[in-house]
A and B are shown apart, each in its own frame.
Chain A
Amino acid sequence: MTNLVLPNYPKLVGVHPDLDSPDYRGTTLRHPLRAPIDLPQRLTEVTGPLLGEGRLGAFDNDLTKQHDGEAQGQRIIVHGRVLDDGGKPLPATLIEIWQANAGGRYRHVVDNWPSPLDPNFTGLGRTLTDDAGRYQFTTVKPGAYPWRNNDNAWRPAHIHFSLFGRSFTQRLITQMYFPDDPLFFQDPIFNSVRDEKARQRLISRYDHSATIDHWALGFEFDIVLRGASSTPFESAEEDDDE
C-alpha cells in the first residue's frame, strides 16, 4: 500500500458550544463527563455520505406549498451558500430544515402549548446546493415559543438546519436565527456559543435584494463548515508551499 495522503480538517477552537452548558438544563444529564479522546482523521472520517436527488420531493424547498392551501404567516425566502472555511463552495450537498409555524407551534406530538396548528404547514424542508453551493427555501417566518427550561423562557425564532458537507467530519446540525430578535438575551441555547463573533454567525441577514415586492422578505444565511487544509491531490512536498 502506498502512503495514503488524506485531507486534514484542522480542529475548530472556540466555535461550538460546550456540551456542559448548565443554563440549558437539558444538558445536565446528557453531556459526557470524560474529556473526548483524540480521533485521528482517517478514511472513515474524511469520507461521508453523498446523498442526492432521490431524497427530494416536489415541494421540499417551498414550505408554503406543501398542502392544498397556503401556509399562514409572513412569507420569507431564506437563501445562502454552503462553504468550507477556505471559502470553497460545497455543491450538491443535502440540506434538511425544520421549523415551527408562524405562531411558534411545531407539528409534533410533544408540542402542545396553546398556539394553533396551521393545517397548511408542516415545517419540513429539503434541498441540494447547486454548483456554486447555493440553496434557497421559501417558507414562513417561524414564531417564538415558550419552553420549560426556566420561568417564562422563550426560544427566539429559528429554523433548524442539518448539513452533511462531503465528509463525516463536516456533519453539522445548527439553528438559524433572525436579526435583532429581542429574545436573544435570555436564550441559553443561542448563548451557549460563548464567542460573540461565532454567535453572530448563527444570525441571518435581512437581504433586501432577495426581497420580492408584494410577495416575500429575503434573508441570507451562509453556512461555513470546517474545511480541509490540503486536498488529497497535493503531495507532501507541495504542502510546504501553502
Chain B
Amino acid sequence: MSERLGCTPSQTVGPYLHIVLPWSDGPFVVPDGTSGSFWVTGRVFDGNGDPVTDGLVETWQADPDGRFDHPDDPRGATKPAIPGFRGFGRCATGTDGEFAILTVKPGPLPADDGRTEAPHLDVSVFARGLLNRVVTRMYFPDDVAANDADPVLASIDDPQLRSTLIAIPNDEGGLRFDIHLQGAHETAFFEL
C-alpha cells in the first residue's frame, strides 16, 4: 500500500460562523409542510450549565425507508420518496443555546454484522471553544425494543449515559434533544 498523505487538522469554527454557515433552508431536512414531519428542538449547554449561544448543530440521517441517495450505500443510491428530502440539517444555536431541525423519522438500517440499527440521526456540534466537532446520535423514544437491540446503544453499559442519546417527546408533537458538552449531564459523544 502506498504512503498516505497527512490529513488537514481541524480548527475551531470560532464565534463568527454566522457569516456563512447558517442557510435560510438549513433547518429543513424536509420541506415545510411535509406529511409526518416534526421539529427536533434542543439546547446546547456548557460545563456550567450555561447555554452555548455561538454553536452550530448539524444532522444527517436516512430517509423513512432506511435508504440513502448516496453512491457508497452498497444497496444502491435510492431517490427518497419524499420530494425535497435532503437528509441533512443545520442550525446555529440562538441566545438560549437553542436549535431546531424539521425532519421525518428515518427507517431502521441493516448493519454489516447482520444486526439492525434503530432509527437515528447522526449529530455534529461545532462551537467556539471546540477545536474539533463532537459527534453524537439521537434516537427515538418510542422505539424501546429497537433501541434495546441497537448495537451502538447496546455498547453503552451506563443507563444514564445511554439515556442522553434518546430524545424526549415535547408538548408540540416534536422531540427535545438537549446536548450537554460537559459535566454531570454530559452527552455520550462518539469517536468515528
Contact = CB atoms under 8 A, between A and B. Distances in A.
Contact of A38 (B10, B110, B122, B190): B190
A5 B15 CA distance: 40
A161 to B, nearest CB: 9
Contacts of A24: 12, 129, 131
Nearest to B191: A36
B145 interface: no
Contacts of A58: none
Given A26-B129, A32-B182, A39 B70 contact: no
Interface string B168-188: 000000000000011100111
B8 A49 contact: no
Contacts of A126: 20
B81 interface: no
A129 interface: no
B6 interface: yes
A44 B122 contact: yes
B49 to A, nearest CB: 9
Contacts, number: 247
A4 B58 CA distance: 26
Interface stretch (A178-186, A210-218, A225-233): A225-233
A6 B112 CA distance: 8
A227 B1 CA distance: 13
Interface in A1-43: 1, 3-7, 9, 11-12, 15-19, 21, 24, 26-34, 36-43
A125 interface: yes
**Interface class of chain A by DSSP:** loop
A49 B88 contact: yes
A237 interface: no
A239 to B, nearest CB: 11
Given A4-B112, A19-B130, A36-B189, A48 B70 contact: yes
Contacts of A7: 72
B167 interface: no
A174 B70 contact: no
Contact of A17 (B9, B152, B156): B9
B143 to A, nearest CB: 15
Given A3-B112, A30-B182, A33-B183, A43 B21 contact: no
5 contacts: A48-B70, A123-B19, A173-B13, A189-B12, A224-B6
Interface of A: 1, 3-7, 9, 11-12, 15-19, 21, 24, 26-34, 36-51, 55, 83, 85-87, 96-98, 100, 106-108, 110-111, 122-126, 160, 162, 166-169, 171-175, 189-190, 192-193, 197-199, 201-202, 222-227, 232, 242
